Structure 1
């Protein structure tokens, strides 16, 4: 049984490619039922960061105070620093008193990646046997509680020299954890690290749209919504969206997509029954940015004019969905009204419509996902240029280059407590005051290259570096040994 509001995989796959004028209205859902989401543990009501960029991919955490000053050399303001085996660009996630993250451990001790700004599309030659793992850490101390093995073997494809074999961030709803390792598969675990199911999605050949021989690997992360896990798999072959039962891995629907490879994570706009707005599953893509009914995979709207390579995740408020991409020459930013239907593509020379209140060309971000905070939109280019816009109108407020050493920016900005946190690949973490004018509060060398987006929880910033995870916001430094928590099978 696929469950209420869904269609069997075969029927849904067909309906997802149907024309956009299908009169069947999408289901308008209220809040998740108690069975769909585990209750918040006592004392952690606002501390969850359950998936890439947190709840709803917002990149924003509530509460205060949040750190502004710390020192990684002296340990001031650093709660812990725990070495993590292997290589990964996936972010940590938080549920209750646990921190979860993935890694890919190569049998080659010298395995690494190349950071920085460069145009090479080369793939790594690291085709050694890898262990693909999910780890749990104590959120307060950094101690590795357990390591669980998802699978082991030679990767089915290569990776970009800047990438790893664990680029994706896991997701949890407090009942289960899902981890995605691209061509190695999709895996479901219980909260104690027991492997419940695995799903082979086939070899996902992702690389340059204009050079099919390139192999860059996947980076889109899974999301959990209403008891189902949703993954976006845009490849050189058959591209598709897939929803599976989070308890069993059984396919609920699969929607084929006419899209070249992409690397963005999908987002669910939750809808608003009071305003008659149904949930929308929004995906970034080169041919079209699209909105789907997340119950069925049926396409609701599409918007052309994107870049040929897309990586940022769609973000939203109650009134707008914002999607950007940074490959030249298009580099667009689009603001879309929820509830729009049909083909929303703007005619040449037009920058707005009733469904698209505003758009910009030449200002989108390449890797980092934009941030919506306190009525403003912040867009961080991979060269370290931070743009701020009025969210409602798209008016530019400022454009400022961060004082970095010249490396790139791959991690997405996050915000909490009246501060923006921006991670540079060279290892600096910048603290910026939000507002209509640029104001740099602090620059902190973290001692490691930073590729992953930080996680935020209860006044602590969890920063994943090249070889460790650090907790910023504590009172003393604690260095953990690398041998804690042996892998489970």
Structure 2
């Protein structure tokens, strides 16, 4: 019996902490999907019901200029968001549809970093980071600012795609910037359909990790956080992806986990050397890998397959099976038609939850992949990834409905709440408060009696 199997029966909240969630009392949500990209924090309970119109459990609502799907991040008493302000009202088309065309963004745009007081919602600063005509276009559902910034409490790194990578101090002063070339991300079968870059930077041990899978000259790279100096760069041969890397520790070595189609894999954090690789899956990879104690979980969709897999962190070399439905020594389990398109799954204790873009919420046993339940949420398009306070799951529809589901082996719907605006950004949590970045606002939702 493995260590993971021995631990799985333990109370899920305690086990969740071993999977990288913040401990009670911590107040950081430093990157896309929070601590270690887990989407999970174990602190004060977050509200299960609210009402934007009446103000029930609405602590504050702050207008945010421009258009962006980058998620909020939190460090202590500050929230940070990035945005792009354009000279004209930007087009945004949401919901489920098959149009692959690009929006036509013209004129000079401003990429900005905004600092907000966490308690009051007051804007502390609104700093210009970059100003230019966009080098590449975007999908009509996307924005020119999809990537979520990351911070370590001293530096904030924002990746603006083709416009470059920018590093600020905690007051919004620009410290350095790097031009990494045109990040032309779109459908590989129709290269003229530009969809916009979306992979977010990850900070680890004073270094910045970026995954740049685009139409040509793709790479994975690590930079020094303080100076912006490039430490290494490893070329990649894959189709454009929109996935954010994950960091995992295994037997004293740190590896970077990358989602892809032709080349999902793990790389050595210190050198960029490939540790393992896997070919096959959905040909438009978006979700970020999810890290457990002995396994990581990968999913992608579109094309012939939409697999979700549990892969052992001990994987070495080429682990591609003869058939996508098969497992092997490295692939612990697989469902070749149960994966996600847009949303990243979330691991909470011994359960892995995943929701696809049509609202099919599935709960898997994380150890063996067995399905505990699958329920259809009646929404029209799901892009934001789910988050949890260790007691409930929050799943957001593009049109602003939020499903609150009690954690467990069966589906238990607690409430469906409205945000009153479109929402494609993944929410953040800090000390019992949910922060939703909607199309026009940042909304703080907390239990008013606390």
TM bucket (normalised to shorter chain) is: over 0.9
State whether structure 2 residue 147 is matched by structure 1 residue 171.
no
Matches within 5 A, 1:49-88: 49-88=29-68
Aligned counterpart, 1:463: 436
1:228 to 188, 207, 212: 207
- Paired with 2:315 and 2:447, the residues of 1 have a C-alpha distance of 45
Q: Deviations over 1:106-162 (max 9, x none)?
A: 011x21311100011110012221100111100111111001111101000111111
State whether structure 2 residue 189 is matched by structure 1 residue 210.
yes
Larger % of strand: which?
2
1:303 to 265, 274, 278: 278
Aligned counterpart, 1:149: 128
- Paired with 1:72 and 1:436, the residues of 2 have a C-alpha distance of 31
Please, which runs of 5 or more residues in structure 1 have no aligned partner? 1-42, 477-489
Matches within 5 A, 1:9-408: 46-108=26-88, 110-271=89-250, 276-348=251-323, 351-404=326-379, 407-408=380-381
State whether structure 2 residue 412 is matched by structure 1 residue 433.
no
- SS of the aligned residue for 1:432 comes to strand
How many residues end up aligned between the 2 structures?
427
Aligned counterpart, 2:389: 416
How far the C-alpha of 1:319 sits from its partner, in A, is 1.2
Say if 1:351 and 1:360, in contact at 8 Å, map to a contact too. no
TM (norm. structure 2) is: 0.93
Residues 455 and 349 (structure 1), Cα distance of their counterparts in 2 relative to 1, 3 Å cut: closer
- Paired with 2:408 and 2:24, the residues of 1 have a C-alpha distance of 29
Residues 317 and 44 (structure 1), Cα distance of their counterparts in 2 relative to 1, 3 Å cut: closer
Q: Whose RCO is larger (CA < 8 A, sep 6+)?
A: 1
Residues 431 and 349 (structure 1), Cα distance of their counterparts in 2 relative to 1, 3 Å cut: closer
- SS of the aligned residue for 1:279 comes to strand
Say if 1:329 and 1:362, in contact at 8 Å, map to a contact too. no
Say if 1:288 and 1:306, in contact at 8 Å, map to a contact too. no
How far the C-alpha of 1:403 sits from its partner, in A, is 2.8
Q: Deviations over 1:263-297 (max 9, x none)?
A: 000011133xxxx2411100001102110001111
Residues 349 and 52 (structure 1), Cα distance of their counterparts in 2 relative to 1, 3 Å cut: closer
- Paired with 2:414 and 2:402, the residues of 1 have a C-alpha distance of 11
Over 2 Å off, 4+ runs: none
